[in-house]
A and B are shown apart, each in its own frame.
Chain A
């Protein structure tokens, strides 16, 4: 015989029942709708090799940049969800300017969905630019995880501005065009730069707000370079090959500097042992407000 439930048991039972009801209600009320993801491939042909100024504007998502074979000025493969508009391009043939825009959120919300973090709602943009026409490339990536493989791109000038996401830039082969300035302004995500020697730039300027900045000075050096790094908070890590002469001046109230390899220090200046004799000299000025500066030669 089952004993009659006490009032407190009844209350517990009522609470359980109410909780189950609420859970069922919430489960039933969960948005049920199919995400819609589109794939768009776009391209523009280029029959000549005159210089082109390219501006890439990217909002949110993942951005990959690489080189395209002739006869393309650009090739773009985009996968985007309902929350994004299709990428657009504007080509001015007379001024030789190209503006590519992607990763922009649409005004309309996807039906039945207000969760912008959904993977299906992401934007993935793979962009290839001409190997043939010399480029002045500017990339503004607001909140994108950007991987920029600039190998093979004939860059005369490069500028990168990022917001909240990380960026990786790499040169795996020497730039065929002499680059005047390599300019990078990174926000909170940090920057990883690989093969700066292949960039062929006479000047490199890097400004970082929060996040680590990593510079690999590898590659085939063609000329001397002035490097200026300003970092507010984060670690600045510079790795140089033994074939390059390095001179680093560090300026920062609350930063620590560590050096490894054949490097000597004289006040605020760190110099590699081969600096005087080296054919290629890289002069680096680091201003780090708060963080660590690591210089490694190996």
Chain B
């Protein structure tokens, strides 16, 4: 009954918890915005493919707004020796030969630029795809840039959204796949410890959460205290870095053990154990079921990657659920001293525990207590049996 309440509490947390952020993955476009918005001239007389190419070029930081803020020509074009082009000129799919003067930049997209000896470009010369040839006396006041191609930008938002969603789903699935692998490893190597954590969680979920929160709050102060105490001696000072590493490893170990124990608990409550399945198989089944259940809100958040607001809301929920599970697990891992003993065993006695079970701790028999002799004479006589006649 209590276990059922625990499962219900976790499921309620699954549904109700508000929380944080997973929007980072959702919007990572590859497009690079230009520093300032371009003011294009009317792109009249150009085909839609050319317009699209120019818009793409204008977003390429190597070309920039020059691509659209220019006089546009298609095919080969020559500026004669006595001619002057005021402003920028862009040639698409052809060679731009400059024998005269260009007061702005001379650009060839899918083409080449040739600056003759009488040519003078006051701005930059940019050639995308087919390079540039500059005569020895040709003048360029700006920079000469030749690039292999215009950057292929992601321009269609629908494709981008789908790609983002797929990427987010892949990442989420991969993370949970890794978590399951980790869980299998822990199950194989520390299955008993995980089982004890599981038992502790079932014995009182709220208590474990409270202990887990207290532990999280105490993590940093304890580390500081540890360092301060070590700092009191010279040897201790040298040990501080090692102590920090050991502390971090120990905390991570407790978090992993506790988190996996919590996941296994949820899985054991939801997945019915099939007949004939061994204890170990049942534990594995519980772990996988629990992990799949925990992954559901994360996958939903990933599925809404193209809608950042929804993704953030669901991601917050998923984060909250995961945090609750890990916190409760941390509490249980602490109660069981890292899964080494049963949660209801009193503190202070170090003894290996049998698999999964709470351990009865044998108390010493008072009749065999022998006080320390003070003067070399045994102060208490050992109890003897009277009926057999073997008294000593």
Interface residues of A (CB under 8 A from B): 7-8, 10-11, 14-15, 18-19, 22-23, 25-26, 28-31, 36, 38-45, 47, 71, 82, 85-86, 89, 91, 106, 108-112
Q: List 12 A-B contacts (CB under 8 A).
A: A18-B180, A25-B173, A25-B176, A25-B177, A26-B178, A28-B170, A44-B142, A45-B140, A85-B61, A106-B32, A111-B28, A112-B170
A279 to B131, CA, bound (A): 52
Q: A18-B288, A108-B30 are in contact. Are A29 and B177 (CB under 8 A)?
A: yes
Please tell me if the beta carbons of A44 and B143 are within 8 angstroms of each other in the complex: yes
Report the stretch among B86-94, B233-241, B272-280 that lies at the interface.
B272-280
Closest Cβ of chain A to B31, distance in Å, is 8
Is the CB of B171 closer than 8 A to any CB of chain A?
Answer: yes
Please tell me if the beta carbons of A29 and B171 are within 8 angstroms of each other in the complex: yes
Closest Cβ of chain A to B353, distance in Å, is 22
Please tell me if the beta carbons of A22 and B278 are within 8 angstroms of each other in the complex: no
Q: Considering the complex, give the chain B residue whose CB is closest to the CB of A87.
A: B62
Please tell me if the beta carbons of B32 and A43 are within 8 angstroms of each other in the complex: no
A248 to B288, CA, bound (A): 69
Bitwise, B119-148 to A at CB < 8 A (1) or not (0) is 000000000000100101001101111111
A34 to B150, CA, bound (A): 16
Q: A28-B170, A29-B170, A36-B152 are in contact. Are A109 and B144 (CB under 8 A)?
A: no
Q: Considering the complex, give the chain B residue whose CB is closest to the CB of A73.
A: B143
Please tell me if the beta carbons of A111 and B163 are within 8 angstroms of each other in the complex: yes
Contacts of A41 in B (CB 8 A): 131, 145-147
Please tell me if the beta carbons of B280 and A111 are within 8 angstroms of each other in the complex: no
Please tell me if the beta carbons of B277 and A7 are within 8 angstroms of each other in the complex: yes
Please tell me if the beta carbons of B281 and A110 are within 8 angstroms of each other in the complex: no
Interface residue from B139, B171, B280 paired with A45 (Cβ < 8 Å): B139
Interface residue from A10, A36, A45, A110 paired with B278 (Cβ < 8 Å): A10
Closest Cβ of chain B to A233, distance in Å, is 18
Q: Considering the complex, give the chain B residue whose CB is closest to the CB of A112.
A: B167
Q: Considering the complex, give the chain B residue whose CB is closest to the CB of A15.
A: B284
Contacts of B146 in A (CB 8 A): 40-42
Known contacts A22-B184, A40-B62; 12 further A-B pairs (Cβ under 8 A): A22-B177, A23-B181, A28-B173, A29-B173, A31-B167, A36-B151, A36-B152, A40-B147, A44-B144, A45-B144, A85-B32, A111-B154
Q: Is the interface of B mostly helix, strand, loop or mixed?
A: mixed
Q: A18-B180, A29-B174, A106-B32 are in contact. Are A42 and B163 (CB under 8 A)?
A: no
Closest Cβ of chain B to A42, distance in Å, is 5
Contacts of B140 in A (CB 8 A): 44-45
Please tell me if the beta carbons of B145 and A18 are within 8 angstroms of each other in the complex: no
A7 to B275, CA, bound (A): 10
Please tell me if the beta carbons of A10 and B276 are within 8 angstroms of each other in the complex: yes
A45 to B134, CA, bound (A): 10
Is the CB of B231 closer than 8 A to any CB of chain A?
Answer: no
Contacts of A112 in B (CB 8 A): 163, 167, 170
Q: A38-B148, A109-B28 are in contact. Are A22 and B281 (CB under 8 A)?
A: no
Is the CB of B285 closer than 8 A to any CB of chain A?
Answer: yes
